Amino acid sequence: MPDMPETGTPPNGSAKALPYAGLRVVEFTHMVMGPTCGMLLADLGAEVIKVEPIAGDNTRKLIGSGAGFFPMFNRNKKSLAVDLQTPEGRELVLKLVATADVVSENFKPGTMKKLGLDYASLSKLNERLIYVSHKGFLPGPYDHRTALDEVVQMMGGLAYMTGRAGDPLRAGSSVNDIMGGMFGAIGAMAALAAREKTGKGQEVQAALFENNVFLVAQHMMQFAVTGQPAAPMPSRISAWAVYDVFTVKDGEQIFLAVVSDTQWAVFCEAFGLQELRADPRLQSNNDRVRARDWLMPLLRSQLAGHSAAELGAVFEKHALPFAPITRPQDLFEDPHLKATGGLAPITLADGERAGQTTSTVLLPLTLGGERPGVRMNPPRLGEHTRELLQELGYSGEAIAALQAGGITR
């Protein structure tokens, strides 16, 4: 599939311009956190230029659980490959940054300063520049530490809440990296709004640890309100009596929930459990929570003979909450995602399947009833270098010399 034009309009032919069409973002990012920020702005219409080393962003080469990072978080971007360790490379990038509205980075503290690409240096050249730094920690006692999503999940209470007691477990996605990038983008949006009023840019900082603390803040406040520590999710006292995974016919599993007194009445009627509905020990949700020790085994026994599909059909018919236990790969064929345009085709740039088309997941929002789509595939390394250098005024001879000298690719 060829690259789609950088038009700032959705791929369905709508004449609506995306909100950040005309905005230029230059990003020095890798892995997930920084690229997520750029992807959000790119999906919303910004021209996002990914500055990569000559050898390419190492994220392109990851295998295992990292294999999906680059294709997921780098769509709708251009790639400029340049050696920032050379004076010529830095000069080139400074010319590019002079044309930017936003610079985004997520390297270790001090890296950008050594290159002369920190906010203090760049803001002197352009006071309207918005500079987004994605770090492990906001400035403070921990900011010298190396942070990873798993590190902050462990030290920030999320792994404790996710695993069983005595068995901390990281969440099954890069939640802090992704959300940290989202907060970086939100900060950039706020700074853009402020610039409309003041004419000046500013530095925005987002951090993994602080993001993680925000995620567990509800449990902190639970302790503040009740005086009781929050229990890990597998051993928590649920707020609702029926709110659990059930193993049913042929070993299938399904999540079922009954979270109100009205739903309890509907549930009992649907499954012929009138005796339970009439039981004076089960009249309110709190009564049923207190009865979970004997109620849940009884319900598991009553439902065990049904298939997951049968239970799902009954719950759906009566507007009761339920969910099949789905694997990520199954979502490519999810009928709702397919019907609502939640998936879009892209061509892979790297790896064993480079050049092949697959589907990617779009932002979970609509603008005017439309999902912001894919305008450009995840870029090949240096795919847009020549185009961008020409735009900056470099001649064909100068571009050839930079490439021959290994300064660009």
Query: E strands, 85-221, where?
Result: 102-105, 130-135, 203-207
For CA atoms 343, 344, 350, 352, give the dihedral sign. Answer: positive
- Measured distance CA(122)–CA(333) in Å, rounded: 46
Q: Which residues of 35-72 are buried (b: 16+ CB within 10 A; e: fewer)?
A: bbbbbbbbbbbbbbbbbbbbebbebbebeeeebebbbb
- Measured distance CA(7)–CA(79) in Å, rounded: 17
Concerning whether 334 is annotated as a catalytic residue, the answer is no
In this structure, are strands 47-52 and 77-81 parallel, antiparallel, or unpaired?
parallel
**Which of left, alpha, beta for 137 (phi over 0: left; psi -120 to 50: alpha)?**
beta
> What is the number of other CB atoms lying within 10 angstroms of the CB of residue 195?
17
Q: Three-state SS for 182?
A: helix
Catalytic pick among 177, 287, 334, 350: 177
Catalytic residue annotation: 177
